[in-house]
Amino acid sequence: MATPTISKKDLQKTLSAKKKKKAEVIKNVLAKPYQNYWPVLNSEDNFNLREALRKFLPRLKHDKVNIPYKDIKAIPREERKKFRENYPKPPLAPLLVSDSDRKSIVFGINDVSKCLEDRSAACVLVDSDVQPRLLVQHIVDQAVLYNVPVLVAVTMRPFFKVHCGVSGAAVAFKRGVKPDSGLGLIQQTICNIYENYPVPQNHIHYHRRLDTITISDSSNNSVCVVSDSEDEEPAKNYHLKRKLRKRAFVPPEPHKVVESVVYIELDTSVEASPVSKINYQPLTVKRLKGDKNRNKRKMQKFKKK
């Protein structure tokens, strides 16, 4: 007698085959109505920028000498620092960079942000591989606010590490550089490429960026100085201890209000009041749902490590 078998159609109708799918959760999220500005360079502009950096970017630091582990494993940990200092290094060419050029390049997100606030930045470069993008998005918005050219370069950090010796998620070039110098030519290249990536009119800082923010150059601080004048009457202390039959608090005499009818003339000018150009945009509602491939990407990251 043959053993009974279940066909594929019958197998699909069994309880074990009916796997309950998770219901998709859709969330309503409030988001800003403005458009994000992320000027990522295309392949042609990225190539032109790299060529300019390769030609004119000064080298600020030599590469670190990597000591093989087989040479250092037999040395105790307390003596390894001294061994690294005395380790024979290959002959290195002297760094042909001036102090002014060294101070004209700023690396790092915080330092670039301070440079933009001081209005001393001429142009800014941001790495496109920064994750999450929120770490450097405020740098781009700040550059738009202060009307500074900003570009998002592809794989910028490894390129700066190889050719400059120093890298960062954001790099700023300061003002006050000669136009015919190497850094001046780099700034000119960045400004020329920046013209191909205009700021959208729906950006939050688009209408604020043209000469609306000014920084006072005066060194005098507005401090209210109070001086003693002879005309002022000395303040009376009403809470001093008095005699038993006298009042502790003596209020001043009330002023008599004289009722008078005064004719108030109304303004009859036909001049129209200036119309405000401020546009208030309401928050937008975005419908978001979970990512199905989130766990797969997590596993891929763990495998790479």
More confident residue, 305 or 213: 305
More confident residue, 181 or 233: 181
Q: From residue 112, how far is each of 118, 206, 213 by CA, in Å?
A: 10, 21, 19
pLDDT of residue 172: 95
Q: Which CATH number fits domain 38-60+99-212: 3.40.630.30, 2.40.50.140, 3.30.1330.30, 3.90.1150.10?
A: 3.30.1330.30
User: If 0-12 CB within 10 Å is exposed, 13-18 middle and 19+ buried, where does residue 16 land?
Assistant: exposed
pLDDT of residue 222: 42
CB atoms within 10 A of CB 104: 21
More confident residue, 80 or 147: 147
More confident residue, 115 or 265: 115
pLDDT of residue 81: 86
Mean pLDDT of the chain: 80
pLDDT bracket for residue 226 (50, 70, 90): very low
Q: Are strands 121-127 and 150-153 parallel, antiparallel or unpaired?
A: parallel
The amino acid at 230? E
**pLDDT at 59 exceeding the cut of 60:** yes
pLDDT of residue 116: 94
The amino acid at 257? V
pLDDT bracket for residue 227 (50, 70, 90): very low
- Comparing 199-203, 204-208, 223-227, 254-258, the range with the smallest average pLDDT is 223-227
More confident residue, 160 or 99: 160
pLDDT of residue 128: 93
Average pLDDT over residues 138-166: 92
pLDDT of residue 293: 85
What own/partner pairs with CB < 8 Å and gap ≥ 24 does 3-12 have?
A: none
pLDDT of residue 202: 87
Report domain extents, the chain: 38-60+99-212
Query: Is the CB of residue 26 less than 8 Å from the CB of residue 286?
Result: no
